[in-house]
Amino acid sequence: MKDKFIIITGPTASGKSDIAINIAKKIEGEIISADSQQVYSEMDIGTNKVMDTDYIYHHLINVVRPNEEFTVDDFKKKAEEIISILNSRFIMPIVTGGTGFYIDSLLFNMNYGQVKKDESIRNKLQNLKETYGNKFLYDKLKDVDEETAKIYHPNEVNRIIRSLEIYEITGEKPSAKRTGERVLNKNIDPILFFLNYKNRQILYNRINDRVNDMITLGLIDEFKYLIEKYKLNENSQSMAAIGYKEIFPYIRGEISLDEMISLIQRNTRRYAKRQITWMKRYLDYPFTREIIMDDLNKEDATIVIEDLIKGMYEF
């Protein structure tokens, strides 16, 4: 029997977390977070973590400390296990978040063909990462294969290392070796709702307001607490997140508070634009429904989504 689950995704600040909670209440489901930053404990304000879950159980939030790493493979393994368990209990999993790699890992079988691993090369690349940081490896990948670099985020260290390893072993670009990159997983039966904004300015205004709210709620104090408690720096995977990485130059006195806020807002808007580009690819698949949010509030969107899933799944 195929694993059934609902996905509610969209760019940051699109309202997906609240809508997912509303849907979970309607169908007695449970939520699986697909957010690569909300996996970290105590990183609450900067990740806009759901604090009022309205008694809906959330999985894969606060699963590692900020000084630990959590990979796409970790997410895939844990999420698939949770989905299977919930299905066996006749509980509908609702995957929600905006990390495209996480969602792709559930939808598609992704591999690099038959290129074997070389531990010496991997160790060398890992040492480079420890010495120079994630961005150094990412830039190295951009130099050898810009096409592959475009589909990865600088924090996807394991995939970047694997790509560079393939290049060193074969002398060929990883994009030339990649096979079955987006082959749909035949063991799943998903429905995906993509919350989109045709009027980008509405979304950008929501993003700007959210960043201002984060500052008011104490983002800077949270940042200082985290780097002190966990001995974090700019090379830490958790601190590469938008909303945290921009605070480093501020606390060093290199930029003003207003400049820091503007930088977070700008970087978040740019990230949202990349998310939308990524998520539009899901429209190629029959299990995807696009929800245009321009004239909808979260209650309206909940009604639209609930109506769409009626009859598609039994609850």
pLDDT at 110 over 80: no
The tokens of 103 are what? 């969602």
Q: Is 125 exposed, middle or buried (0-12, 13-18, 19+ CB in 10 A)?
A: buried
Q: Which domains does the chain have, with CATH numbers?
A: 3-110+188-309 (3.40.50.300), 111-180 (1.10.20.140)
The total number of residues written for the chain in this structure: 315
pLDDT digits (tens, 9 = 90+) for 85-97: 999 999 999 999 9
CA distance 195 to 97: 11
Q: Which amino acid is at 279?
A: M
The band of 180, judged by pLDDT with boundaries at 50, 70 and 90, is: very low
pLDDT by residue (tens digit) across 196-237? Answer: 999 999 999 999 999 999 999 999 999 999 999 999 998 888
d(CA 169, CA 306): 50
